[in-house]
């Protein structure tokens, strides 16, 4: 599966996250890749809301991982931007999170591709202009 479309606002980025959320099931993995300011966290806001979680979604840049547990299937939201090695990711309890059977979202997933599962939804966000983005969603 591969989809590509363009968006022109934060609201459309959030709606794109809602769009993907409709497909996700327990145990699914979503990697998000794109430059700083591309909209990865806004996409995650829409995705988490689309899954029925009522919690506010914030970037886990400094906390490294946020957990959203307001529904039966937990959502684990990672941001690898400030992490320097795969060993640091593992030290966060990476394998335990994957084994829990929730939905895992990883911003900056392209930094440690060796840790990514083979079955993933990959979201590539490309900045086209100040407000316009191209989103490519693929599933392996």
With a cut of 60, say whether residue 4 has pLDDT above it.
yes
**Distance between CA 103 and CA 47 in Å, rounded?**
10
Does the pTM exceed 0.85? Answer: yes
Helices 10-21 and 40-50: angle between axes, nearest 10 degrees: 50
Given this model, what pLDDT does residue 86 score?
96
Q: What dotted CATH number matches 2-139?
A: 3.40.50.300
High-pLDDT (> 90) share of the chain, %: 83
- For every residue of 59-126, which 3-state class applies, written as one string? CCCCCCEEEECCCCCCEEEEECCCCCCHHHHHHCCHHHHHHCCCEEEEECHHHHHHHCCCCCEEEEEE
User: pLDDT tens digits for 39-92?
Assistant: 999 999 999 999 988 777 876 665 689 898 877 889 999 999 999 999 999 999
């Amino acid at each position: 599966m591969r989809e590509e479309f363009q968006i022109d606002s934060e609201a459309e980025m959030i709606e794109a996250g809602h769009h993907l959320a409709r497909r996700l099931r327990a145990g699914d993995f979503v990697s998000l890749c794109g430059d700083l300011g591309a909209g990865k966290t806004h996409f995650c806001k829409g995705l988490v809301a689309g899954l029925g979680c009522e919690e506010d979604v914030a970037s886990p840049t400094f906390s490294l991982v946020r957990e959203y547990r307001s529904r039966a299937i937990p959502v684990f939201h990672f941001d690898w931007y400030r992490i320097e090695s795969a060993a640091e990711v593992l030290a966060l309890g990476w394998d335990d999170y994957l084994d829990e059977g929730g939905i895992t979202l990883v911003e900056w997933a392209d930094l440690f591709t060796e840790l990514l599962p083979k079955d993933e939804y990959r979201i590539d966000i490309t900045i086209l202009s100040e407000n316009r983005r191209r989103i490519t969603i693929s599933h392996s």
